[in-house]
Amino acid sequence: MSRVIVQKYGGTSVASPARIWRVSRRIAESVRSGHPVVAVVSAMGHTTDRLIDLARRVSPAPSARELDMLTANGETITAPLVAMCLQAMGVPAISLTGLQAGVRTSGHHSKARIREIETQRIRAELDAGRVCVVAGFQGVTESMEITTLGRGGSDTTAVALAAALGAPSCEIYTDVDGIYSADPRVVARARKIAHISYEEMLELAAVGAKVLHPRAVELGELYGVEIHVRSSFKKGVGTMIVAQVPMEDRNRVRGVAHESNVAKITVRGVPDRPGVAAALFEPLGAASISVDVIVQNVGLTGATDITFTVDEGELAQAVALVQEANRQIGAVEVLSSGGLAKLSIVGTGMLGTPGIAARMFRTLAENRINIEMISTSEIRITCLVDRARAADGVRALHTAFELDVK
């Protein structure tokens, strides 16, 4: 078989019959290139939200299994509509549910993992000259139970199909035209990044760049599938997510990310003994509260301070759980504050380049932005700052690291 093109179209791209028509025209153009095409589609616009709203109106706490049965309809509505539209344009096409596309998953409802993709059916349809329009976000277990893949599910479906079909790349069509060096709504001179590495993309996603879910990026890295993030509304190339960025881009900060709505909790005077951190964080995990940056300073007195961040919307619940946990732990006090934001700089070349961290801290200081907390990975430095100064900080860092479009 000739090289398969795998494309994914998000909910905004298929939100109306007119947009489905536009997406279909783009698929038809790809077909004209002579390659077999697989198009993975999401639910139209707000369909999933509307289905979940229906669920809430019949049950205060719908089971994950039934929610999966319900929400899977979003994508199985879009897929036949796109297939019909292609047929109306004279392009042979067939829609496939997750089951028909061979997407086999674990049984973890609402957050299933893809176990394997049985490609016989898709290959047969492609061989017969048809575009396969696959309902994203869903699969089935061995016992024919319908599952959904959770956040970023359709992206994951697309990258997994590309891997299973031996496609060298996967095109993610979305409502932005690529990955930017900073949020263009904040930084007017943000630049579109031509190539970014999987690790850089993962770090950017972890600190607020929402374009692509980390699962899809990880899968791309694991199977060597390059991911092309591009606009479904505009022509032109977007951003390629690859293993190796071009040499000249390597020793650089690639982007500045920020995330607002951050709050922090500090547990002061934690007795320094094994099991304390587990006792602190397990109740938060059980309550599905996502804990982000964690910093621990071991002091000289046998006690330590642990600080971590949570989404500000979950602060009150998190503080209550931590205070509850502290009855066993016996730390001195639990402090919390909201109104914070995270600023991060990301780039694989960073740690090999001396002075990057210093330049970040100096830039913030020159702009009188106080740093409340610092956390680093190999290719990222994150500072917690006052939310009111976050946008200024992003712009200052973007300029300081020479990312501004000239």
C-beta of 146: minimal distance to a second copy in Å?
Answer: 7
Q: Pick from 5, 6, 40, 83: which binds a second copy (CB under 8 A)?
A: 83
- Report the alpha-carbon distance of residue 380 to residue 336 in Å, rounded: 25
Contact mark string toward a second copy, 145..184, x via CB under 8 A: xx--------------------------------------
**What is 311-355 written as a DSSP string?**
EGGGHHHHHHHHHHHHHHH--SEEEEEEEEEEEEEE-TTGGGSTT
With respect to a second copy, which residue has the nearer C-beta, 131 or 217?
Answer: 131
C-beta of 140: minimal distance to a second copy in Å?
Answer: 9
- Report the alpha-carbon distance of residue 21 to residue 31 in Å, rounded: 15
DSSP H/E element including 305: strand 303-311
C-beta of 139: minimal distance to a second copy in Å?
Answer: 14
With respect to a second copy, which residue has the nearer C-beta, 144 or 300?
Answer: 144
Q: Exposure of 359 by Cβ count < 10 A (0-12 exposed, 13-18 middle, 19+ buried)?
A: middle
C-beta of 62: minimal distance to a second copy in Å?
Answer: 4
With respect to a second copy, which residue has the nearer C-beta, 145 or 305?
Answer: 145
With respect to a second copy, which residue has the nearer C-beta, 83 or 346?
Answer: 83
Tokens 């028909």 -> residue: 100
Structural Rg of the chain based on CA atoms = 23
> Tokens at residue 95, please?
């829609």
Contact mark string toward a second copy, 121..150, x via CB under 8 A: x----------------------xxx----
Distances (CA, A) of 382 to 22, 141, 361, 367: 40, 40, 10, 17
Pairing relationship of beta strands 37-41 and 5-9 according to DSSP bridges: parallel
291, β-bridge pairs: 310
C-beta of 181: minimal distance to a second copy in Å?
Answer: 38
With respect to a second copy, which residue has the nearer C-beta, 88 or 320?
Answer: 88
Span 307-346, contacts to a second copy by CB under 8 A: none
Distances (CA, A) of 170 to 190, 198, 244: 25, 14, 16
Span 84-123, contacts to a second copy by CB under 8 A: 84-85, 87-88, 94-95, 97, 99-100, 121
User: How many residues sit close enough to a second copy to count as binding (CB under 8 A)?
Assistant: 41
Span 53-72, contacts to a second copy by CB under 8 A: 54-55, 57-63, 65-67, 69-70, 72
- Report the alpha-carbon distance of residue 213 to residue 9 in Å, rounded: 14
- Report the alpha-carbon distance of residue 187 to residue 390 in Å, rounded: 11
C-beta of 106: minimal distance to a second copy in Å?
Answer: 18
Contact mark string toward a second copy, 11..50, x via CB under 8 A: ------x--xx--x--------------------------
C-beta of 318: minimal distance to a second copy in Å?
Answer: 28
C-beta of 371: minimal distance to a second copy in Å?
Answer: 47
> Tokens at residue 299, please?
């002091």
DSSP H/E element including 258: strand 255-271
73 binds a second copy (CB under 8 A): yes
C-beta of 24: minimal distance to a second copy in Å?
Answer: 8
Q: What is the dihedral of CA 2, 8, 13, 18, to 10 degrees?
A: 40
Kindly list the residues in this chain that would bind a second copy in the complex (CB under 8 A).
17, 20-21, 24, 51, 54-55, 57-63, 65-67, 69-70, 72-73, 76-77, 79-85, 87-88, 94-95, 97, 99-100, 121, 144-146
